[in-house]
Amino acid sequence: MAGVVFLVLLCISAGTMVGVRGEDPYLFFTWNVTYGTLSPLGVPQQVILINNQFPGPNINSTSNNNIVINVFNNLDEPFLLTWSGIQQRKNSWQDGVLGTNCPILPGTNFTYHFQVKDQIGSYFYYPTTGMHRTAGGFGGLRINSRLLIPVPYADPEDDYTVILNDWYTKSHTALQKLLDSGRTLARPDGVLVNGKNAMGDGKDEPLFTMKPGKTYKYRICNAGLKNTLNFRIQGHTMKLVEMEGSHVVQNVYESLDVHVGQCFSVLVTANQDPKDYYMVASTRFNKQVLTGKGIIRYTNGKDPASPELPEAPVGWAWSLNQFRSFRWNLTASAARPNPQGSYHYGSINITRTIKLINSASQEGGKLRYALNGVSHVNPETPLKLAEYYGSRRQGVQV
Ligand SMILES: *[C@@H]1O[C@H](CO)[C@@H](O)[C@H](O)[C@H]1NC(C)=O
Ligand SMILES: *[C@@H]1O[C@H](CO)[C@@H](O)[C@H](O)[C@H]1NC(C)=O
Ligand SMILES: *[C@@H]1O[C@H](CO)[C@@H](O)[C@H](O)[C@H]1NC(C)=O
Ligand SMILES: *[C@@H]1O[C@H](CO)[C@@H](O)[C@H](O)[C@H]1NC(C)=O
Ligand SMILES: *[C@@H]1O[C@H](CO)[C@@H](O)[C@H](O)[C@H]1NC(C)=O
């Protein structure tokens, strides 16, 4: 144990030697990660809070901002956060993935530094340690365009983040025990919209409000575990404006299939009767459909949301066809990996084909998932530590 603490101390001091340089503005955050008790599906359960919030705080940043987040781990287990979709994390100390990063030990803190360089769009962060993501610790991360960069739509009245999750009422430790005893996680117990599921008993507090006639940006992310979620808003259409960091051709959708890890930015205009409306997220591709709801309220509205929910699409084909309708807007501003057209995808000759096959099997009585028969095992020496001491060839398991 003393050895582990020693290694991690070395790890932390090595990690903090690399600072963030540059003249771009800085955003500083201090986050306190703790357990709390909430009842998102009506049953009290342990959740992971950041600064007492579930989901965690939104990071509202602008392209090229330097972000500094001092994370205090007050859980009883090691903890790490990753910044999904952020391309430039300065260096791999900021990745937040076990195996490259040392976890933040209970009772200690670690400061992430990264720059959201040349990026725009909607993203989210989440814990990568153990089953923590099933308990919380996730939240939205938005990158606004700098003022001098034109955006292909008018400034919305406000900007809302919607984090969707399939959700278990079992604690993350109970879920881990299931896998460790060779069993599966089975089906989730419900779907959450920003950590809640509206009961429809007239007492639901709205998650968002809209002024009549105004247009709002909603950033919708699926931070869940297993299920694609179909997202729709009663009586309203959504104009898709951004996905995966790029402005897109602005098609209008009645619903969107949001796959695990995906985010979309859409515009919604408050052009219906002034009352409450449900946002609905329901699981796809399973016989048993789980549904989560959240309330949007018109500021001049009086009536509750209609209990009649908009129907979800059925089948895989619908989802594939919807995906085919997404197109980059090639004339809009965006950070792009490389000049438009220079890849000439259609004319590249295939020289090698790699198949990835997923599987599940028992390993010493535990259930483990694998790609091409290989499952993740944490190396005995964290990779970054091995790199720091140049001991790559001395018995480090990769
Ligand atoms: C974090 O929260 C815990 C529990 O509320 C509290 O005891 C602790 O002082 C807080 N730490 C920081 C750094 O705010
Ligand atoms: C987010 O940051 C932008 C740019 O600093 C600011 O204009 C906007 O008001 C912020 N939005 C929220 C919801 O904090
Ligand atoms: C831990 O927090 C303290 C107090 O804010 C700060 O001075 C220190 O740099 C942090 N340590 C790490 C490793 O981030
Ligand atoms: C693409 O972006 C340009 C530049 O902002 C805009 O004028 C145009 O309307 C957009 N096209 C579509 C199809 O969304
Ligand atoms: C692909 O192969 C064909 C036939 O060998 C060749 O003519 C062509 O130049 C190759 N294309 C590229 C992009 O290498």
Q: Are residues 171 and 284 in the same domain?
A: yes
How much is the mean pLDDT over the chain?
A: 88
Rounded to an integer, what distance in angstroms lies between the CA atom of residue 156 and that of residue 239?
12
* Total number of domains in the chain: 3
Q: How far is the CA of 120 from the centre of ligand 5 (A)?
A: 36
β-strand pairing of 26-38 with 66-73 = parallel
Confirm whether 352 is domain-assigned: no
Rounded to an integer, what distance in angstroms lies between the CA atom of residue 264 and that of residue 219?
6
Q: Please report the atom of ligand 4 found closest to the CA of residue 150.
A: 5
Predicted pLDDT of residue 397 = 38
pLDDT of 107 > 90? The answer is yes
Higher pLDDT, 238 or 338: 238
Distances (CA, A) of 170 to 38, 40, 41, 125, 361: 12, 12, 11, 22, 23
pLDDT of 395 > 60? The answer is no
Q: Are residues 135 and 167 in the same domain?
A: no
Q: Are residues 79 and 179 in the same domain?
A: no
Predicted pLDDT of residue 364 = 85
Confirm whether 71 is domain-assigned: yes
Highest mean pLDDT: which range of 100-109, 148-157, 277-286: 277-286
CB 292 within 8 A of CB 279: no
Predicted pLDDT of residue 75 = 98
Q: Are residues 140 and 282 in the same domain?
A: no
Q: 23 CB contacts (<8 Å, ≥6 apart)?
A: none
Average pLDDT over residues 46-61: 98
Which one of 120, 144, 168 terminates a domain? 144
pTM of the model: 0.87
Q: Is the CB of 347 under 6 A from ligand 5?
A: yes
CA 165 to chain centre: 9
Average pLDDT over residues 124-153: 94
pLDDT of 295 > 90? The answer is yes
Q: How far is the CA of 32 from the centre of ligand 1 (A)?
A: 6
Rounded to an integer, what distance in angstroms lies between the CA atom of residue 134 and that of residue 132?
5
> Please, is 364 exposed, middle or buried when counting C-beta atoms within 10 Å of its C-beta (0-12, 13-18, 19+)?
exposed
Q: Are residues 250 and 303 in the same domain?
A: yes
Q: Are residues 206 and 113 in the same domain?
A: no
Q: Residue 210 is encoded by which pair of tokens?
A: 């809209």
Q: Among residues 226, 281, 36, 6, which one has the least CA distance to residue 137?
A: 36
Q: Are residues 107 and 63 in the same domain?
A: yes
Q: Please report the atom of ligand 5 found closest to the CA of residue 347.
A: 13
Q: Are residues 180 and 302 in the same domain?
A: yes
Amino acid present at 31: W
- Three-state SS string across 61-128, please? EECCCEEEEEEEECCCCCECEEEECCCCCCCHHHCCCECCECCECCCCEEEEEEECCCCCEEEEEEEC
Confirm whether 93 is domain-assigned: yes
Confirm whether 2 is domain-assigned: no
> Please, is 269 exposed, middle or buried when counting C-beta atoms within 10 Å of its C-beta (0-12, 13-18, 19+)?
middle
Predicted pLDDT of residue 90 = 58
Domain harbouring 213, CATH code: 2.60.40.420
Q: Are residues 299 and 173 in the same domain?
A: yes
Which one of 91, 110, 144 terminates a domain? 144
β-strand pairing of 59-62 with 66-73 = unpaired
Rounded to an integer, what distance in angstroms lies between the CA atom of residue 31 and that of residue 57?
9
Predicted pLDDT of residue 5 = 37
Q: Is the CB of 34 under 6 A from ligand 1?
A: yes
Confirm whether 5 is domain-assigned: no
Out of 344, 349, 351, 352, give the residue to mutate to test ligand 5, the one with the largest number of ligand atoms within 8 Å of its CB.
349
Q: H-helix or E-strand containing 362? A: strand 358-363
Distances (CA, A) of 22 to 68, 86, 203, 246: 13, 18, 49, 25
* Residue 108 pLDDT class (50, 70, 90 cuts): very high
Q: Is the CB of 144 under 6 A from ligand 2?
A: yes
Confirm whether 209 is domain-assigned: yes
Out of 32, 50, 72, give the residue to mutate to test ligand 1, the one with the largest number of ligand atoms within 8 Å of its CB.
32
Q: How far is the CA of 168 from the centre of ligand 4 (A)?
A: 41
CA 115 to chain centre: 18
Q: Are residues 184 and 285 in the same domain?
A: yes
Distances (CA, A) of 316 to 34, 88, 103, 186, 231: 39, 34, 38, 22, 15
Percentage of residues in the chain having pLDDT higher than 70: 88
Q: Among residues 22, 18, 187, 208, which one has the least CA distance to residue 110?
A: 18
Q: Are residues 168 and 298 in the same domain?
A: yes
Confirm whether 310 is domain-assigned: yes
- Residues facing 101 on adjacent strands: 98
Q: Among residues 142, 150, 176, 165, which one has the least CA distance to residue 67?
A: 142
Count of C-beta atoms within a 10 Å radius of residue 78: 18
Average pLDDT over residues 226-250: 96
Confirm whether 342 is domain-assigned: no
Q: Which domain holds residue 390?
A: 358-397
Which one of 144, 167, 201 terminates a domain? 144
Q: Are residues 193 and 256 in the same domain?
A: yes
